[in-house]
Chains A and B, each alone.
Chain A
Amino acid sequence: MTEINKVIQNKIAIDKLNLFYGKFQALISVSMPVQEKMITALIGPSGCGKSTLLRSLNRMNDLIHGVKITGSVLLDEIDIYNSSLEVAELRKRVGMVFQRPNPFPLSIYENVVYGLRVAGIRNKKESDEIAEKSLRGAWLWDQVKDKLDHPALELPLDQQQRLVIARLLAVQPEVILMDEPCSALDPIATMKIEELMIELKKDYTIVIVTHNMQQASRVSDFTGYMLMGEMIEFNQTKNIFTNPSKKLTEDYISGKYG
Chain B
Amino acid sequence: MRIHPRYTQRGAIAVLGGATLLTLLILAFIIFFILEKGLPGISLSFLTTNPTDMGRAGGIFPTLIGTIILPLLAIIIATPLGIFTSVYLSEYTKENKATRIIRFGTDCLAGIPSIIFGLFGYIFFVVTLGFGWSILSGGLTLAVMILPTIIRTSEEAIRAVPKSYREVSFSLGATSWQTVKKVILPNALPGIVTGIMLSIGRAIGETAAVIFTAGSSLRIPSSVFDSTRTMAVHFYILAREGISAENAYATAATLIIAVLIVNLSAYWLMHRFIAKRS
A residues adjacent to B (C-beta < 8 A):
58, 60, 63, 65, 88-89, 91-92, 95-96, 98, 100, 102, 104-107, 114-115, 117-119, 151, 153, 164, 167-168, 171
Contact = CB atoms under 8 A, between A and B. Distances in A.
A123 B278 CA distance: 21
A199 to B, nearest CB: 21
B165 A102 contact: yes
Interface string B155-188: 0000000101111111111110010001100010
Interface in B74-120: 94-95
Contacts, number: 66
Contacts of A167: 172
Nearest to A119: B173
Nearest to B94: A65
Contacts of A92: 172-173
B172 A118 contact: yes
A58 B171 contact: yes
A60 B167 contact: yes
A118 B182 contact: yes
A95 B171 contact: yes
Contact of A106 (B173, B174, B278): B278
Contacts of B173: 88-89, 91-92, 115, 118-119, 171
B175 A88 contact: yes
A214 B60 CA distance: 78
B10 interface: no
B277 interface: yes
Interface residues of B, number: 21
Contacts of A63: 166-167, 170
Given A63-B166, A100-B164, A106-B277, A117 B175 contact: no
Contacts of A119: 173
B164 A118 contact: no
B170 A60 contact: yes
Nearest to B175: A88
Given A65-B94, A65-B95, A95 B187 contact: no
Given A89-B173, A92-B173, A117 B167 contact: no
Contact of A104 (B94, B95, B165, B171): B165
Contacts of A104: 165, 168, 183
B278 A171 contact: no
A153 B170 CA distance: 20
A18 to B, nearest CB: 22
Contacts of B164: 98, 100, 102
Contacts of B168: 98, 102, 104, 164
A91 B172 contact: yes
28 contacts: A60-B170, A63-B170, A88-B173, A88-B175, A91-B171, A92-B172, A96-B167, A98-B164, A100-B164, A102-B162, A102-B165, A102-B167, A102-B168, A104-B165, A104-B183, A105-B187, A106-B277, A107-B278, A114-B172, A115-B174, A117-B182, A118-B173, A118-B175, A118-B182, A151-B278, A153-B278, A168-B171, A171-B172
A91 B183 contact: no
Given A118-B175, A164-B168, A171-B172, 18 more contacts: A60-B167, A63-B166, A65-B94, A88-B170, A88-B174, A88-B175, A98-B164, A98-B168, A100-B164, A107-B278, A114-B169, A114-B182, A118-B169, A118-B172, A118-B174, A151-B278, A168-B172, A171-B173
A100 B162 CA distance: 12
Contacts of A106: 277-278
A188 B164 CA distance: 25
A96 to B, nearest CB: 4
A97 to B, nearest CB: 9
Contact of B178 (A60, A89, A96, A118): A118
A119 B171 CA distance: 13
A163 B167 CA distance: 16
Given A65-B94, A98-B164, A106-B277, A60 B172 contact: no
A151 to B, nearest CB: 5
Query: Which of B95, B171, B172, B178 has the largest number of chain A CB atoms within 10 A?
Result: B171
B15 to A, nearest CB: 36
A60 B173 CA distance: 11
Contacts of B95: 65
Contacts of A105: 187, 277-278
A75 B162 CA distance: 30
Contact of B167 (A65, A98, A153, A171): A98
Nearest to A94: B171
Given A63-B166, A117-B182, A96 B171 contact: yes
Contacts of B187: 105
